């Protein structure tokens, strides 16, 4: 995969390594190298560290979701029913909480670089050659820095097709929606992937009328079908209008509304539009041609198992290399890439079963195989289920929507998949994940039957589901 560096520089460099980008992937590389005693510089194009994850993606959207979820909980809890008045909050009010979380995360992450004596450069990086970067600042000043090795961790941004005017004050992508400063009564969300589905939950929870346009024939088709159906039903039951197998023809931005014209001939109108259909790797500003690298049509770079590009001293991690495009995975990719940069190869790899957390209301989380995958592979599996409404802790907390599903091998009882829908699903799934990662007899559904769980807890769902599944075996 790799070939010789195209650099003509001498062997003395300012730094052992430069990392471009300070999201989870870049942070993983920089911290691991710094702790190994290497001199490291990081380049961040924005005014604060943290990358898209902290400023526009994972952190703000999850903080938004949490606030809206608590608002729904307040309005639906019998304890507060005496008020007889539903509380409501504007998007701007809820963003104030999210902004505080972003500030706290930024301060924390900046302290990591400071504590580990990593040099921080603010500006936009581009390659001069395989060991030299130019850093351009907003004020027009430029710096040149050199290093023996370079890691690209520039992340991704929302895909914005050229025929849609994203400068229009009523047309947003998943980054710019965070600056929404009015209070829409209705919104069209185009794209029903993870981001679109999460924002559909958020806006509907705030009482906004939501139309969710999906290009596929079902929501989040990579999920276990029952879980996908549960989400569809829950959104539908809460008043979200979902339109499947639709694609847009054109978008008209008006003074008082946005009109979405679909290829099927339908016309839809709302106060604003959120376009959430895909993401593009941030590689177009790097001048990759100067080192002989080329990104694919989605702006992504190809790497080998050591996260090394075709240029032997240049590595890449995170969204910019594609799958799985998760903050959690990017941080580990960064650590593994740093190991390869230090030792010539990495001895670690991402586990095959990476947990998926989808922060709709309620949450979805899964790890391992779906029922559909196991059926197709002709693996004889059985299902164990626990419904949250039967758990004392869920009854106490009034979080009774949802269930836990364990898939396991009929003969060996090996756990093959965990699927959870409901409040705190992304926490609950890790208990099952921990047992799935064990070897041999330690990875069986019997663990959940023979273990004593705290009572009352949501974790107890594992014991209920395990007993339910074992009762199906004959």
Structure tokens at 292: 């002989």
Point out the annotated binding site.
44-53
Largest CA distance in the chain: 76
Q: How far apart are CA 306 and CA 13, in angstroms?
A: 23
Using a 10 angstrom Cβ sphere, with 0-12 exposed, 13-18 middle and 19 or more buried, the burial of residue 454 is exposed
Let me know: does 129 contact 72? Beta carbons within 8 Å: no
Q: How far apart are CA 9 and CA 20, in angstroms?
A: 20
φ, ψ at 464 (rounded to 5°):
-60, -45
Point out the annotated binding site for FAD.
44-53
Rounded to 10 degrees, what is the CA torsion of 268, 364, 227, 325?
80
Angle, helices 194-205 vs 225-237, to 10°: value is: 30
Let me know: does 3 contact 311? Beta carbons within 8 Å: yes
Using a 10 angstrom Cβ sphere, with 0-12 exposed, 13-18 middle and 19 or more buried, the burial of residue 176 is middle
DSSP 3-state of 181? coil
Let me know: does 163 contact 190? Beta carbons within 8 Å: no
């Amino acid at each position: 995969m790799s070939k010789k560096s195209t650099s003509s520089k001498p062997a003395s460099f300012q730094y052992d390594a430069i990392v471009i980008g300070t999201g989870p992937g870049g942070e993983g590389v920089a911290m691991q190298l710094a702790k190994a005693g290497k001199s490291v510089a990081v380049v961040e194009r924005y005014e604060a560290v943290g990358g898209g994850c902290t400023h526009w993606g994972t952190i703000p959207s999850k903080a938004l979701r949490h606030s809206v979820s608590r608002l729904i909980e307040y309005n639906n809890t019998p304890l507060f029913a005496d008020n007889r008045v539903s509380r409501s909050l504007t998007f701007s009010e809820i963003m104030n909480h999210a902004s505080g979380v972003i500030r706290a995360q930024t301060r924390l992450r900046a302290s990591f670089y400071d504590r580990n004596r990593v040099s921080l450069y603010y500006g936009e990086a581009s390659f001069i050659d395989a060991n030299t970067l130019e850093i351009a600042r907003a004020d027009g000043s430029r710096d040149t820095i050199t290093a023996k090795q370079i890691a690209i961790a520039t992340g991704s941004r929302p895909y914005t097709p050229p025929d849609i005017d994203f400068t229009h004050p009523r047309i947003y992508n998943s980054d710019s929606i965070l600056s929404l400063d009015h209070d829409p009564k209705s919104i069209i969300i185009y794209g029903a992937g993870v981001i679109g589905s999460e924002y559909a939950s958020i806006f509907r929870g705030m009482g906004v009328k939501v139309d969710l346009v999906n290009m596929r024939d079902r929501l989040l088709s990579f999920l276990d079908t029952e879980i996908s159906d549960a989400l569809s039903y829950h959104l539908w039951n809460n008043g979200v209008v979902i339109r499947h197998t639709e694609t847009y023809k054109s978008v008209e931005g008006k003074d008082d509304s946005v009109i979405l014209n679909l290829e099927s001939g339908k016309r839809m109108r709302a106060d604003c539009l959120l376009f959430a259909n895909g993401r593009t790797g941030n590689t177009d500003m790097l001048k990759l041609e100067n080192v002989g690298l080329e990104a694919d049509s989605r702006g992504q770079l190809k790497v080998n198992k050591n996260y090394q590009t075709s240029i032997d001293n240049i590595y890449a991690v995170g969204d910019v290399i594609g799958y799985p495009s998760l903050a959690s995975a990017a941080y580990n990719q960064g650590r593994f890439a740093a190991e390869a940069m230090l030792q010539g190869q990495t001895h670690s790899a991402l586990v095959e079963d990476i947990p998926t957390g989808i922060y709709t209301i309620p949450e979805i989380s899964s790890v391992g195989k779906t029922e559909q995958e196991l059926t197709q592979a002709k693996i004889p599996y059985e299902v164990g289920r626990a419904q949250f409404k039967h758990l004392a802790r869920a009854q106490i907390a009034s979080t009774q929507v949802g269930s836990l599903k364990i898939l396991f091998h009929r003969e060996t009882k090996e756990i093959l998949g965990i699927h959870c829908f409901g409040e705190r699903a992304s926490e609950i799934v890790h208990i099952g994940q921990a047992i799935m990662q064990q070897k041999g007899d330690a990875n069986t559904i019997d663990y959940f039957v023979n273990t004593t769980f705290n009572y009352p807890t949501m974790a107890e769902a594992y014991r209920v589901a395990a007993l339910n599944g074992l009762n199906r075996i004959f």
